[in-house]
Amino acid sequence: MAPSLLLCPDEVIDSIVKLLPNVKAARETCKRLNRIASPYLFPVLYISCHQLDLDVFRMVSKNPLLIGGVRELVIDDTTLPVSIPDWPTYEKVVSLPEYPAERRFVLELAVSEHWSDWSAECDEPKEHWELFDSILKGHHENRLARADYHALKQALPYLKRLRSLVLTNRTANKHIAHGFQEGAQSLESSSPIFKFWRRFESKAHYRVPFAPRCDWVPTGQGLLDKTPIYGMDWLDDRLNNNITLCGVPNSLAASHAFEINHGQDLTDWDLFLYERAERLDRANINELFVLAREARVIHLALLVLEGQTMLSQLTEFRVDATLDVPKIDCSPGLAITVLDKQSPFPTRLAKGFGTTNITKFNLTLGTGLPLDVGVGDRLRTVFESMPHLEELFFEPHDIHHFSAIPTEKTFPRLRKVTLSCGLMQLEQLFKFLQSHAPTLKILVIEHCKITRESGNDSQDFLPMLMSELRFLYRDGALKLENGSISKLFHGPMPDTYCGRLYGFGLEHSETWDYKGNGVWDQREEVDSEDDSDI
């Protein structure tokens, strides 16, 4: 008779259970296996304002066996429009005309309370509204009550094995061309509400409108006092029905001050609303569906980073940003305005990271022109607060990598660096490589615009970079194990532009791979016609 697994010590059973593909089945066999297997049920735990996510989070946090096994916490910032409360509105909104003049007529009907006079042809099945409505229920009540914040605060003392903190705004639509194999909301891991949405969409075989999303884009353009946008309750729902024919919000169009003085007596806030409405009046239809906020996810992240129970416990911070951005002049990542001079976050973030033991730091910053010149300096304080850094991924888009990464300071344990989608001065890159050559083992530079301190952007700097890398190897300083230099750009280009999403053209498509012993080989690009034959 074969010996029973239960005769083995707990340590042996634990090593076996964590390799099993179905932990749930193991938990149901007996109390002992339930106790041993439970910590492996939720290695990644999501929290958001979606009711289903919140219910699961609370259920896990109340069970010591379950919450004791959580190693990664994902703060999902996605939300839903406030402005679609019922099926008739949903039906009209999904049929809004694309062109501004036609759309203006429809919105004017809404303002004049003749919304029902517009009969649009809507091909959306009512089941799509029912899916949307089922997720909408309770969401904004949770958001305004800050239910996720309070649930997380109560759970923090019990997250004893938490090692990784992740912020995400990835969308649920399976049609998105840029699918994610790993990370938050991917094939590897996803939240309960996203599984629910994707399960429905897989049966529909096409995109269902209004999947949970959050656009991390600046929302305070023209606003002098940006204090409101840094609060937890701020949400820029641009699908707004109170736009009149002239593009003025209905509440302002009726204002006596606006009619007489053409807006000269408007407050800063009223003027902000007026200018915003004018922009939306002329906007592409996609811009009306933007759901934007900048700071709420940072408030929840700081709750973790500043928590006394997290001291020296966290080792990884990551931003898993969506690639589903509203328009071409937007870039993936946290809104860079969270580092603005009015922002309360840079100092708190630096202090929070300083009390942890971060060894892996993955930061993607989106667009936000016009930039405050001090953004790089404020971000530098964050980098300087992480002396134990071993792995770095940095994608800053609008700013120079080395205006934020300190070149005069060495991270003594840094072994893996990925610099993506940003501006980079060659001299500063050389200085960084020279100071970190003794520990650096993996180097990836991709989709960056290369410049020189002299300001000459017309020269191709790739040969100079490859020459420097070979020199550092011959000099015995740089001993890489793996590396890639890919799709670097020189010359004039839009300041707000994501090379990873949109590319720089065929003339900037070279990729060089490290083969060992100081040898870099140019990768042969496969012709698109050949691809179709494979």
Residues 199-251 have pLDDT tens digits of: 888 887 778 889 999 999 888 877 788 888 999 999 988 776 444 444 444 44
Residue 490 and residue 510 in one domain = yes
Question: Is the pTM for the entire model greater than 0.85?
Answer: yes
**Quick one: which of 289, 515, 332, 298 has its CA closest to 422?**
332
Residue 412 and residue 484 in one domain = yes
Residue 514 CA to residue 520 CA, distance in Å, equals 5
Residue 124 and residue 200 in one domain = no
Q: Say which DSSP state 311 is in.
A: T
Residue 11 confidence (pLDDT) above 90: no
116 within some domain: yes
SS3 content of the chain, % helix, strand, coil (to 5): 40, 15, 45
298 within some domain: no
Residue 223 CA to residue 5 CA, distance in Å, equals 66
Which of 291, 324, 342 is at the close of a domain?
291
Residue 489 and residue 401 in one domain = yes
Q: Can the peptide bond before residue 370 be classed as cis, meaning omega within 30 degrees of 0?
A: yes
Q: What is the pLDDT of residue 243?
A: 46
Residue 349 and residue 399 in one domain = yes
Confidence tier at 458 by pLDDT (50, 70, 90): low
Q: What is the pLDDT of residue 260?
A: 39
Question: Average pLDDT, stretch 152-157?
Answer: 96
Q: What is the pLDDT of residue 297?
A: 98
Residue 191 and residue 71 in one domain = yes
Which of 185, 204, 223 is at the close of a domain?
204
Residue 406 and residue 470 in one domain = yes
Residue 350 CA to residue 380 CA, distance in Å, equals 9
Residue 104 and residue 153 in one domain = no
Residue 43 and residue 92 in one domain = no
Residue 255 and residue 355 in one domain = no
Least confident of 40-44, 261-265, 331-335: 261-265
Question: Could you tell me which residues come within 8 angstroms of residue 307 by beta carbon, excluding any fewer than 6 positions away?
Answer: 156
pLDDT digits (tens, 9 = 90+) for 469-517: 999 999 888 999 999 998 888 766 655 567 777 776 666 678 899 999 9
Question: Average pLDDT, stretch 148-166?
Answer: 96
405 within some domain: yes
Q: Say which DSSP state 215 is in.
A: B
327 within some domain: yes
Average pLDDT, the chain: 81
pLDDT digits (tens, 9 = 90+) for 399-410: 889 999 998 889
- The total number of structural domains in the chain stands at 3
Residue 248 and residue 227 in one domain = yes
Longest CA pairwise span in the chain (Å): 96
SS3 314: coil
Residue 179 CA to residue 343 CA, distance in Å, equals 33
209 within some domain: no
Q: Are 451 and 429 in contact (CB under 8 A)?
A: no
Residue 122 and residue 199 in one domain = no
Residue 411 CA neighbour count, 13 Å, CB half? 25
For 75, the domain range is: 5-80+142-204
